Amino acid sequence: MAYLTYLQAIRQGIMEEMARDERVFILGEDIGVFGGAFKVTEGLLDQFGEQRVIDTPLSEIAIVGAAIGAAYLGMRPIAEMQFIDFISCAFSIITNYAAKSRYRWGAGVPIVVRGPCGGNVHGGPFHSQNVEAYFFHTPGLKIVEPATAYDAKGLIKAAIRDEDPVLYFEHKYLYRRIKEEVPDEDYVVPIGRARIARQGRDLTIITYGWMVHQSLAAAAQLENEGVDVEVIDLRTLLPLDDETIMESVRKTNKVLIVHEDTRTGGIAGEIAMRINEQAFDYLDGPIRRVTAPDTPVPFSPPLEEAFLPQVDDIVRAARELLAY
């Protein structure tokens, strides 16, 4: 076992896959000599050389386009977005080419598009976004967002081995703020499987990414009030693990969905409707959600704090739902 940060776990997973499979290579802006903007790829160039760790021009569409072409030729590329916000520059090629390729002519596109998402680091409106909802509507894609170092390593390995395009979102606030024991031996975390981060009986919180930690803190606070909260860490956003969600709903009968992304059109709406369709008879109250408001991410630290869902926001919503 090794005691790794979230960032180190991602790096270790990439290194292991590159050592295991010579078809795996990584490309992106400043990932080689500089080691990446957040140093996720530090050391890879020395270990694997410039043929497999490729610094690219500042063009996200070129990065993803080259990755798709390489995948067609049998390679397994990892395309880094320096900040996930700029994946929008490659939106068309991801949704219209990579995602549709298997449907159109049976060809898989085994690429991973990864990069740092999320706020609470005072990055402003162009470097703090959560972009999952833009892609959540696209058949043919898989989307993952780990909340722990263990899952960060296991999911990056699973994503690299997958035969279809995977968007791998890593929350930059977690990079160096969480640390845990991670197995040295080879393992993967299956895509499409949620985990129960905390067992409970009174209310279910469904969440992912940094909000898992906010929700666990809220659950600990509510425990002092005699409330037993279950927390589901989705891990995979597409496809959703309906089985785990519905099993929890049938047990607790009340549901709070928490995500850092803005409210309108967020993933919470789809989760709520699936619960309505599959487990409505088990609900003892309305499905509630805690999200960011419908504005860009503020640059000002006090405004950003007000924008992002806080532990007190989750506790307040949970209390209201419990009292319903």
Domain ranges of the chain: 2-182, 195-322
Identify which of 244, 257, 255, 256 has the alpha carbon closest to the alpha carbon of residue 280.
Answer: 255
Considering 127, 171, 213, 259, which one is annotated as catalytic?
Answer: 127
CA distance between the termini of the chain: 45
Burial class of residue 122 in the structure, from the number of CB atoms within 10 Å of its CB (0-12 exposed, 13-18 middle, 19+ buried)? middle
- 0.95 exceeded by the pTM? yes
State residue 229's pLDDT score: 98
Contact 114, 107 (CB under 8 A): no
Q: Which two tokens stand for residue 221?
A: 């606070």
Query: Three-state SS string across the chain, please?
Result: CEEEEHHHHHHHHHHHHHHHCCCEEEEECCCCCCCCCCCCCCCHHHHHCCCCEEECCCCHHHHHHHHHHHHHCCCEEEEECCCHHHHHHHHHHHHHHHCCHHHHHCCCCCCEEEEEECCCCCCCCCCCCCCHHHHHCCCCCEEECCCCHHHHHHHHHHHHHCCCCEEEEEEHHHCCCCEEEECCCCCCCCCCCCEEEECCCCEEEEECCHHHHHHHHHHHHHHCCCCCEEEEECCEEECCCHHHHHHHHHHHCCEEEEEEEECCCCHHHHHHHHHHHHHHHHCCCCCEEEEECCCCCCCCHHHHHHHCCCHHHHHHHHHHHHCC
pLDDT digits (tens, 9 = 90+) for 55-68: 999 999 999 999 99
The CATH architecture to which 195-322 belongs is 3-Layer(aba) Sandwich (3.40)
State residue 1's pLDDT score: 86
- Domains 2-182 and 195-322 fall in the same CATH topology: yes
Fold of 2-182: Rossmann fold (3.40.50)
- Is 171 an active-site residue? no
Sort strands 229-233 and 195-198 into parallel, antiparallel or unpaired. antiparallel
What whole-number distance in Å separates Cα of residue 84 and Cα of residue 131? Answer: 7
Identify which of 146, 82, 152 has the alpha carbon closest to the alpha carbon of residue 113.
Answer: 82
Residue-wise burial string across 61-73, b where 16 or more C-beta atoms lie within 10 A, e elsewhere: ebbbbbbbebbee
pLDDT beneath 50: ranges in the chain: none
Contact 143, 236 (CB under 8 A): yes
Contact 266, 309 (CB under 8 A): no
